[in-house]
Amino acid sequence: MAGKWSRVFLLAVCAVSLLGAEVKVSIPVGKLFTHELMRETFQIYIEPLSKLYGNFYDDPIVFKCNLQNFPDLPEWLRFTQRHPYDNGFLYGTPAAPGNNIIEIFAINKRSYVTAKQILTIAIVLDKNPLPYQAEFFIQLREIEKVLPSAVQEEIKQDLQRLWGSEALEVVNVTNALDRGGRVPLPIAGHFEGVYFKVGSKQYFSECLQKVLTPEHQRQCTSRTRVKAPGGCNFCNIPSNCITWCKTELFNVSKPKPTPALIMGSGILESGGDFNPPEFSPERDFFLDYIITVIVPLILAIILCLLLSYIMYCRREGVEKRNKKTTEIQMYHHHTIHGTSDELRMMAGSRDVPPPPLSTLPMFNFRTGERVSPLEGTSPTIPLIMAHHEPYSDTLPRK
């Protein structure tokens, strides 16, 4: 049993299952490309390991996509997967013809088994371009909820009735966060929003042309709630309703004029050889010297003189100050000074008192030995504090 689980562990870490079939698709330039990465498709190719783990179809799967030999996807192609239990989507609108080989890796986050698939996208020129295009903002949608083909058909049916033509094709789908939109609050009823762009060969209907009227633009700038024009509300599902103030119309058939290029001969005109001058022309720097050196020096001297006059010439002086002071105030001033000097003289001439008795040497009255009080003494030896004279006949006799 232990050998079985060890073998399972090694297979789970090291096994990489490659899908043999290569998916090839062809799309025209300027049309929306959508490719859904189905979890069930990748689970079939790693089914032998799923038997060891029970119900494999409940395992979380994460998709990683990149251009072959490159770390990221092409500029026009984007990938989204909201949750490991959801399918992934590759979507985008190519702008130039060419071939892109996309590597798709499916990683089982529970068993770490990896499956790989190659997606070859052939981009060709569009033989039937759509000159008239319109972009709508759907506020109550998120990008992964719009990419399925069934949801795109629902939205396109509403726009067909709005346009008055069934010949509509989806040109592009963009997440509002990619256009600078804010991340919504994690509350029910708050969505990111999606820009849905369609095109047609038929000119815009009257309802769409009302977007260009000054009255409609004035209502949008006034920040009031703009409703659909009369008879132009073809929204059957509330989540597919468009925001009229963010509706834009494009006429691709009239490209912006570019300035014409004037082609030259590619040869410089003959004008002889360049002869550099032998001597540089003389230039007088006297005025520059006056402005940069002399003028700042004069200003510095004037400021120094002004400061000296304020600090030295405007002082009153001691004699002038004494004349302005009253006699009683001067007398008090001299009295304080005299008293302070007298106290200093008395403090300097006084006798120094003898040192404290605790600092005098100590002795043993039996042996007469003197010991400094700072040294350690034994508690068994009685010590007597000595005075200025040693122990003698001053003690009374019995």
Would you state the pLDDT for residue 365? 55
- Do 137 and 246 share a domain, yes or no? yes
- Do 41 and 25 share a domain, yes or no? yes
- 32, 151 contact by CB (below 8 A): no
Residue 243 lies in a domain: yes
Residue 275 lies in a domain: no
Domain extent, residue 371, equals 359-389
Structure letter (DSSP) for residue 139: T
Residue 364 lies in a domain: yes
- Do 112 and 138 share a domain, yes or no? no
- Do 246 and 137 share a domain, yes or no? yes
- Do 90 and 147 share a domain, yes or no? no
Residue 368 lies in a domain: yes
CA dihedral 8, 107, 149, 19 (to 10 degrees): -70
Alpha carbon separation from 338 to 165, 178, 280, 362 (Å, rounded) = 116, 90, 82, 47
Would you state the pLDDT for residue 187? 83
- Do 165 and 223 share a domain, yes or no? yes
Residue 320 lies in a domain: no
Beta bridge partners, 169, equal 199
- Do 157 and 239 share a domain, yes or no? yes
- Do 30 and 48 share a domain, yes or no? yes
Low-confidence ranges of the chain (pLDDT < 50): 1-19, 48, 50, 56, 377-398
Would you state the pLDDT for residue 16? 42
- Do 112 and 136 share a domain, yes or no? no
- Do 143 and 206 share a domain, yes or no? yes
Alpha carbon separation from 300 to 32, 80, 256, 295, 296 (Å, rounded) = 75, 71, 63, 9, 6
Q: Answer with the one of 193, 224, 251 that is the final residue of a domain.
A: 251
How far is the C-alpha of 155 from the C-alpha of 147, rounded, in Å?
Answer: 11
Residue 326 lies in a domain: no
Q: Answer with the one of 197, 231, 251 that is the final residue of a domain.
A: 251
- Do 95 and 41 share a domain, yes or no? yes
How far is the C-alpha of 212 from the C-alpha of 219, rounded, in Å?
Answer: 12
Could you read off the pLDDT of 242-261 as tens digits, one per residue? 998 899 999 887 666 666 67
Residue 107 lies in a domain: yes
Q: Answer with the one of 193, 219, 251 that is the final residue of a domain.
A: 251
SS3 call for 276: coil
How far is the C-alpha of 25 from the C-alpha of 77, rounded, in Å?
Answer: 14
Tokens describing residue 12: 């789970």
Sign of the dihedral through C-alpha 62, 68, 71, 75? negative
Q: Residue 120 is part of a domain; what is its CATH number?
A: 2.60.40.10
Tally of domains within the chain:
3
Residue 92 lies in a domain: yes
How far is the C-alpha of 328 from the C-alpha of 336, rounded, in Å?
Answer: 12
- Do 175 and 99 share a domain, yes or no? no
The Cα diameter of the chain in Å comes to 148
Total Cβ atoms within 10 A of residue 252: 13
